[in-house]
Amino acid sequence: MYHTKNAVGYMNIKMNLTSSDNLKQKPADILKTPFGTVFSDHMFSMEYLGGQWKGASIHPYRDLSLNPAALCLHYGQGIFEGMKAYHRGGRTLLFRPERNFIRLNESATRMVMPEIDTDFALSALKKLLKVESDWVPDVHGSSLYIRPTMIGTEARLGVKPSDEYLFYIILSPVGPYFREGFSPVKIFLSTEHVRAVKGGVGAAKTMGNYAAGLLAGVKAADVGHSQVLWMDALEHKYLEEVGTMNIFVKFDDELATPPLSGSILSGITRDSVLTLTKDMGFNVVERKISIDEVIEGIASGKVTEMFGCGTAAIIAPVGSLWFKNKSYTISDGNTGELTQHLFDELTGIQSGEREDPYGWVVEVD
Ligand SMILES: *Cc1c(COP(=O)(O)O)cnc(C)c1O
């Protein structure tokens, strides 16, 4: 281990709050605010110096001060998480938040960054959410998006793991992820670019993966498509992910999703969909899905639904697929029955509007 494992347990969180007359204006209509463009008044941060996390504090949202030689800016040692808080009926709810901090540590290990104490991180997040409770919107379809981030900050131009890090959590009130809201998206199959390869960093939520995907996204947009469907990097044959979401395909009575092969992100929404559909008695399998099987299945009517899933969009129905200069329509371009059911069920559980038999929801009290 390069860094001290779990270098700190609990520490005091210093509170430095903005005076009430300096608070920001909240967006007038959260459902019309573009995703991730507004930030709350405060943030949490702590630093890793000399092999220890220290200086935990909740303070006004502010610009970072970084040395231009900070290692994250050159060699990409940066990881993050994405989660949401809901405010309904006077309660603030999180969805399986411990999973996000465990995954942050898995990303940290892959990128040779220090781990955080997951219990401490969750208590820091709850404390921040209590300070910012007015920022958790309560309208149906809205939530507070949470972005925990860790970056290597040591000033050094030699390629090596940073000895210094900054961990912070920022908050952004959001409406639906797609401008269209919950309606079918058009996806573009990239035959030219790949997202990640086994042995690489595709299973980590690390910055470079998203930079690597931008060019294919621009090409998709050129033909009017909003998301990229990624194929495996070796054979360009098997489905991996769609944009920043995991993918599911329904073939008649079977619901299938690609296995976690090392190049795919292990989505918490993916895991929740697997649990929900298994409990519904669905024949749900993690297996390789070839693009030929999907195209043939669309032609024969065997592919009845397809959707992406992830924290930001939750469930995104796929209405059409662009492959080798041809567009294939799925579910007549509509939202399938199972897709709609899963969206309603998941958003219902997350927002506390439906029963949560799994104990997934954690209240901020
Ligand atoms: C974050 C992310 C997902 C979805 O993960 P959730 O835990 O469901 O939010 C899927 N794929 C990629 C590439 C991601 O970055």
Share of the chain above pLDDT 70, in %: 97
What is the spatial distance between Cα 68 and Cα 62, in angstroms, rounded to a whole number? 18
Whether 241 lines ligand 1, by a CB cut-off of 6 Å, is: yes
pLDDT-based confidence at 9, cuts 50/70/90? low
CATH number at residue 161: 3.30.470.10
Ligand 1 center to 22 CA (angstroms)? 35
Give me the mean pLDDT over the 219-229 stretch. 92
- Same domain, yes or no, for 130 and 46? yes
C-beta 166 within 6 A of ligand 1:
no
Give the count of domains, the chain: 2
C-alpha of residue 300 to centroid of ligand 1, in Å: 31
**Average confidence (pLDDT) over 210-224:** 93
User: Of ligand 1's atoms, which has the minimum distance to the CA of residue 269?
Assistant: 8
Nearest CA to ligand 1 atom 10: 245
Distance 203 CA to ligand 1 centre (A): 10
- Per-residue confidence (pLDDT) for residue 166, from 0 to 100: 98
Q: Max alpha carbon distance in the chain (Å)? A: 63
Q: Are residues 312 and 218 in the same domain?
A: yes
Residue 187 has pLDDT above 80, yes or no: yes
Pair 166, 100 in one domain: yes
Q: Which of residues 149, 174, 199 is at a domain's end? A: 174
Atom of ligand 1 nearest to the CA of 271: 8
Say if ligand 1 is within 6 A of residue 105 CB.
no
Residue nearest to atom 14 of ligand 1 (CA): 244
Instruction: Please give the distance, rounded to the nearest whole angstrom, from the Cα atom of residue 107 to the centre of ligand 1.
Output: 12
The secondary structure of residue 32, as a DSSP letter, is G
- Indicate if 121 and 221 belong to the same structural domain: no
Helical axes 337-350 vs 268-279, angle rounded to 10° = 110
CA-nearest residue, atom 15 of ligand 1: 244
pLDDT in tens, 251-297: 999 999 999 999 999 999 999 999 999 999 999 999 999 999 999 99
Query: In sequence order, what are the residues at sequence separation of 6 or more whose Cβ sits closer than 8 angstroms to the Cβ of residue 272?
Result: 96, 346, 360
Contact (Cβ atoms closer than 8 angstroms) between residue 213 and residue 229: no
What pLDDT, on a 0 to 100 scale, did the predictor assign at position 182?
78
* pLDDT value of residue 88: 85
Distance 266 CA to ligand 1 centre (A): 7
* Same domain flag for 195 and 317: yes
Instruction: Give residue-wise pLDDT tens across range 229-241.
Output: 999 999 999 999 9
201 lines ligand 1 (CB under 6 A): no
Residue 357 covered by a domain: no
pLDDT for 226 beyond 90: no
Helices (H) and strands (E) in the chain, counts: 7, 18
Q: pLDDT tens, 320-355? A: 999 999 999 998 999 999 999 999 999 999 999 999
Q: What is the dihedral of CA 58, 166, 362, 204, to 10 degrees?
A: 160
Q: For 125-129, what is the mean pLDDT?
A: 98
Indicate if 317 and 241 belong to the same structural domain: yes
Assigned domain for 9 exists: yes
pLDDT of 8 reads 57
Which atom of ligand 1 is the closest one to the Cα of 103?
A: 7
Same domain flag for 321 and 216: yes
For residue 229, the CA-to-ligand 1 centroid distance in Å is 14
* Whether residue 218 is found in the same domain as residue 250: yes
Same structural domain for residues 30 and 71? yes
The answer to whether residue 179 sits within a structural domain is: no
Going from the Cα of 67 to the center of ligand 1, the distance in angstroms, rounded, reads: 30
The backbone torsions φ and ψ at residue 314, rounded to the nearest 5 degrees and listed phi first, read: 65, -80
Domain of residue 318 covers 185-350
* Ligand 1 atom closest to Cα of residue 99: 7
- pTM of the predicted model as reported, rounded to 2 decimal places: 0.96
Q: Is the CB of 229 under 6 A from ligand 1?
A: no
